[in-house]
Structure 1
């Protein structure tokens, strides 16, 4: 079936309709290109230490040689990484990929149960873990395929004496490194040293080889591993680079990477796209420490930053953020969850740069739609399908719906995952016979080809037969100056099936439920207005900052 592509008429100048998926065979080929062009340029910076592209080349080569020469891993074996943003992350990731192995990214905040599931499910044979999370690994190792644990401290790559001081403070002053005991562990620095004794063999990497097992769906059930191939990742890097690269200068950009690199958004947008352009990734290890984050921003001349709505909102509400130097800032990209109008407008007012909303999924490596970079004001859309990407809206029967009608957003393109690891049935239900990935997001398209998310299927609230989309309610409540954060959920009701409940974190402690309801009455039709207003000190979130609506539905008020 032919598909209309009205979005192509609205691409900004210089953005192609298609990208060259075959320019690079693999992620290591992209890395090699960056090393050849930018060897002496800074690549990654963290906690006061910066490493060049040449150092990334040397150190990742050592780690690759350790994995193949010392541990005798075979092509396709899985290696897990359990760390926040630090210099060890890119070194290890590129080392694993150069060795023809697969990276299994692990959220370091996982519980023992969650970690054990991921290690068993992925079949990982090696795990690299930061000392802070060593006790979780220790408690989860039994009955997993892990045969080697590699450990590291946050200060290990910072040099002497700074690194030793950082490790001492974390363990003995801040008490952030619990004691743990795992037999036969190897320190990351010793692994690198051991790798120097081995030459790295020529490893043939095919575009269809799995680069990452990226786990997703943990908030909706058992986490599944999305198989992202080298081709998926390279394609999405090419797509995103074509879209945002029109204003970037090779070798001269600095991007703030506050989202964790184990999250697909930062991995592709910050890690790969800016590596291709020879940019410097400034890694933020603990973005939850907002005053510390703002202090760090004041010392960096950054030209780009990515994040989720809660991160931008947090920065805007941290004293001193308005004193940061934004004169070099060219690009702010928001994804992972809906960007709220109130946050986008305040961001532009404070920084002078628009907050551009993007949309993607782990399953699309991740970018599928992005708003044009030359857009000046918030438009409420997730953007246009990026080059070499098709998007449509389908009804329950799988029929494509016309402009303006709400249905399930479906995506097709070279960035769509190979499938879910060892879950053929779930793969078949996610990707239909025609190759369309069903996102589970309810959306509509306008005449220009802009797509708008109205909500997740599962988050939709049904009030007396009317659909209520939480995003809309949240956007309205977020307009109130006294509201810091808000989430809307449906709760059971005898009369109407469900009613809307909003859970609010106050910015103004004087804010009352009556004021919220009065504001809602002014801005929302009757069935969309919250019947229940609850105040909390904080909202439950994933480690990336996405609000967990499910927990607000299930958990009692607290």
Structure 2
């Protein structure tokens, strides 16, 4: 059934129970606001450390926005974009769009003005909803995007080129418009990471959204008593689709703004969180803060925390080993997915398979998985090929891009992920690397993830990225960009790293070591194209001359 029906059900069964909590540690005054009735919600500029809404108010806010859109002529198939930081308004706006039969179009909050303009035009957006953090970026492109488009502003001091969302929705009916929606209707457009240029628009049907909720609840067993801590950005499929497990179970979720080991532990402790989804950098930061004595787990109420899971990027085995040594009672899961497969879970480790940490796991609930060679034929266990997935969560297409769609989805429905992987004899899949990130040095294929996993075990290494850089003799050389732990930055040398790498086969050893920060995007993925640009051939010569 369409995802909006879960919200309707929760509003009826759990109406007076808390659905969403927003915690904003950046607000110093520890004021708290509870919204039990919509009339109390109109002045949303009242700053508070903590805001919450019930399932009833959640549904009413979605209905009010849906009715506003309908009053403005929005109909099935129209597109409404969301450009907001994580906040209490985000999900009611998303569900309000879906209730009209329109298509929700979440935008990356890191987009610059030209990227916003590009995505708005690519997706044929009719209405853009944006927050105060984006006034400058939107104002810069108003002349080019406002033609035939409405701009709704969520915040105080509404700019002159937009309309005030809060004032408009306050005067709209809270009755559900009950527009007929089926699983075959289009529901959302998400955007690819854009690592090879501007992003592609990924069109999904309601079936995909509903399936992602069922996958999440099946994998992690959310009950009505669970509390999910949501930290990653809601524009991304990962965060939202993990929250969908809370939607199915009618359980509370906490939206945390501002990420640090302390704010995460504070939220888990104060809100009674039982499930936390982390990105690799955040887990690394927590372990480092504990190691350095900046936070002490015994100072927090953490006994109820039952599950920590990670997704969006390869996870070093050493990281999970350290985590389990500190939190032995935690269940752990790795989730693999991509926006084209409606986010996490098409492959997952499973909490019952902790002994296989390092693998991305097995086929997720309702999914099929295979590994194919370049000619499309299946490979044997132990051989590397392209990871392919098939199931109800595969995108319908790249919107307005039939060529890219044909290159990505086979005629029999397999989604080509672009990730190189292998399957072991026990049936577990191991991510080897992105196809475009494979380093070919002297005719040998080197898979950076394997080297990154190895280097992560060095006690001085906080984070690491391995990239291929041009070399006249070998074609490419493996270069390790290493971010050291603060206490090790002065004492660790390139010779130390090279000595550690002697445990690797000679051809896998990095030929260059660069000590620098490792950039990651908002979903925790290493920004390797940026590193390749930064440390290209000319940069390497410069570094060598300085040495």
TM-score (norm. length: structure 1): 0.86
Describe how 1:181-192 pairs up with structure 2 within 5 A: 181-183=159-161, 185-192=162-169
Residue in structure 2 matching 1:387, options 348, 362, 365: 365
- Per-residue deviation, residues 169-213 of structure 1 (Å, max 9, x unmatched): xxxxxxxxxx99442x222211221223x8553311121222110
- Per-residue deviation, residues 28-47 of structure 1 (Å, max 9, x unmatched): 11222222332222111013
Alignment-derived partner of residue 496 in structure 2: 515
Describe how 1:528-543 pairs up with structure 2 within 5 A: 528-536=508-516, 538-543=517-522
Alignment-derived partner of residue 474 in structure 2: 496
Residue in structure 2 matching 1:263, options 218, 236, 250: 236
Alignment-derived partner of residue 320 in structure 1: 295
- Report the number of matched residues: 500
Residue in structure 1 matching 2:209, options 227, 233, 239: 233
Residue in structure 1 matching 2:198, options 197, 222, 228: 222
Describe how 1:387-466 pairs up with structure 2 within 5 A: 387-466=365-444
User: Mean alpha-carbon deviation: is it higher for 233-242 or for 524-533?
Assistant: 233-242
1:321 Cα offset (Å): 5.7
Higher-RCO chain (CA-CA 8 Å, sequence separation at least 6): 1
Give the Cα–Cα distance (whole angstroms) in 1 for the partners of residues 325 and 304 of structure 2.
Answer: 16
Indicate if the aligned counterparts of 1:43 and 1:279 stay in contact, CA closer than 8 A. yes
- 2:339 is equivalent to residue 362 of structure 1: yes
Would the alpha carbon gap of residues 384 and 143 (structure 1) be closer, same or farther in structure 2, given more than 3 Å must change?
Answer: same
Would the alpha carbon gap of residues 459 and 398 (structure 1) be closer, same or farther in structure 2, given more than 3 Å must change?
Answer: same
Alignment-derived partner of residue 31 in structure 2: none
Give the Cα–Cα distance (whole angstroms) in 2 for the partners of residues 199 and 342 of structure 1.
Answer: 52
Alignment-derived partner of residue 167 in structure 1: none
Residue in structure 2 matching 1:278, options 247, 250, 267: 250
Describe how 1:147-158 pairs up with structure 2 within 5 A: 147-153=149-155
Would the alpha carbon gap of residues 290 and 126 (structure 1) be closer, same or farther in structure 2, given more than 3 Å must change?
Answer: farther
SS of the residue corresponding to residue 374 of structure 1 reads helix
Give the Cα–Cα distance (whole angstroms) in 2 for the partners of residues 486 and 126 of structure 1.
Answer: 41
Give the Cα–Cα distance (whole angstroms) in 1 for the partners of residues 266 and 368 of structure 2.
Answer: 42
Residue in structure 2 matching 1:525, options 505, 508, 523: 505
1:478 Cα offset (Å): 0.8
SS of the residue corresponding to residue 340 of structure 2 reads helix
Would the alpha carbon gap of residues 427 and 77 (structure 1) be closer, same or farther in structure 2, given more than 3 Å must change?
Answer: same
Alignment-derived partner of residue 92 in structure 1: 93
SS of the residue corresponding to residue 46 of structure 1 reads strand
Give the Cα–Cα distance (whole angstroms) in 2 for the partners of residues 35 and 349 of structure 1.
Answer: 41
Give the Cα–Cα distance (whole angstroms) in 2 for the partners of residues 150 and 354 of structure 1.
Answer: 42
Give the Cα–Cα distance (whole angstroms) in 2 for the partners of residues 115 and 551 of structure 1.
Answer: 20
Indicate if the aligned counterparts of 1:355 and 1:378 stay in contact, CA closer than 8 A. no
Give the Cα–Cα distance (whole angstroms) in 2 for the partners of residues 108 and 77 of structure 1.
Answer: 22
- Structure 1, unpaired ranges of 5+: 1-23, 157-178
Give the Cα–Cα distance (whole angstroms) in 2 for the partners of residues 427 and 338 of structure 1.
Answer: 26
- 2:529 is equivalent to residue 550 of structure 1: yes
SS of the residue corresponding to residue 101 of structure 2 reads coil
Residue in structure 2 matching 1:304, options 275, 296, 302: 275
TM-score (norm. length: structure 2): 0.88
Give the Cα–Cα distance (whole angstroms) in 2 for the partners of residues 89 and 261 of structure 1.
Answer: 8
